[in-house]
Structure 1
């Protein structure tokens, strides 16, 4: 049980980097970018092929990040230049990436059992088990990514990007090219998704054509779970840095829930159903909680 929970935490942190990418498009731009399911697998495929070819595993992860960013740029190009609705553009890119990922790997999966990875190297140096190494690497990368995102969204272009999601007409009236901000957001988002895909690939020692299936669902679930936890926390964590951290925490909680349910004997084939239920509940809880708070405020007002 303890090993399963440790594995869930390590997976939650590594997938949490992908969740940060989904956070950028879903929460800042209000775009459910379905490119994610494809770009996650692209990151894993690129990392796997390069590692097998003898490229340094750290360089392979950087290449996976760039590959993910290119996938997001394609979606951004379709959305901004040809004015295809963002959700449809994401679907088109995702579908095409399935074939592209097959071309990259040359087959449906690529094992890394005999290849060195970032995780195996650190494990050999420290003697720590794989899950512990994954947690350490994941935390380091997550902290660096959150710090960089916090800095970037405090810059002029980052602030313009956030404003684009809040009120696109207003920020356009101020002279900001919203097509540029959308392109940057989609590229940055999928670069993080590709980074996560590369890390997951090296941690689990294989890449699979279907490894990104349902990634957007996991991302949305983690974001909403993190927000619910933030609202239930005394003082309500509403700062931008807190929202970024909550996204990763939500990912960890999501994978812990999955691990607990599997340990209780749930059929692994029902995991997609469970994921859908978790997302539905996570989306419903904030609405119900807001209604409860509103009724309480009305009741207090009546008493006065």
Structure 2
């Protein structure tokens, strides 16, 4: 059984708001989710927290959901009339349809329940951040700055990213037959991606210089769809994550494939570069539910 705690917060109602959720998996692993909106209401944030939490859970899972929102719990369990936020209710209903076994539980707010307090803090923290308009890369004086991670501990960080290069059948055949005019497309592209991952701080402003333990890139030839499927993994023991390193690796691998094959066809399409999952750090483990 998966346990889910959700909450929403709003400063002003309407005003800047935030939502928070904690997902507790059967193996004991926890995932924290949170977000914010500049102009919203408390009820909208309560709904949003439930929607986003359920989006992250595999369909047909057995779920026990806890919220201190009578608005959410009683509307679902007691049939309270939906007078506002209809679009969000419709969105929630679509998500609920993917999960056939959800138990809805009301928990009294600020009663000492550890996880209820935790999601409340997440939601309030996001709302306060929006109110202050405080971005981690912006100083109090409004100047761009690098985030200070000096107080963080070194932990294992792993990130997986993915992307696609849609090409013509002619390119696929030439790569398979190893007769591309510029040489070995796959090997050169892998090397380019690995080199790029190591130079991410030079490409992305304000990224930290970190020691990468390992970068791995695979390129699958999808003949049925005439495309290259690129997957990259970056790994480090450091104070900050390696998401950008994995995404840069995929991006440069894709660009190199394009460069190596453009003499055959200029119409190749790079698409859907995405973070698939990450491990480690304050936000814990995050897995993308759907992939393109």
The TM-score by the shorter chain falls in which range? under 0.3
Larger Rg: 2
Q: Which has the higher contact order (CA 8 A, sep 6+)?
A: 1
Higher share of residues assigned helix:
1
Higher share of residues assigned strand:
2
Q: How does the TM-score come out when normalised to structure 1?
A: 0.21
Q: How does the TM-score come out when normalised to structure 2?
A: 0.22
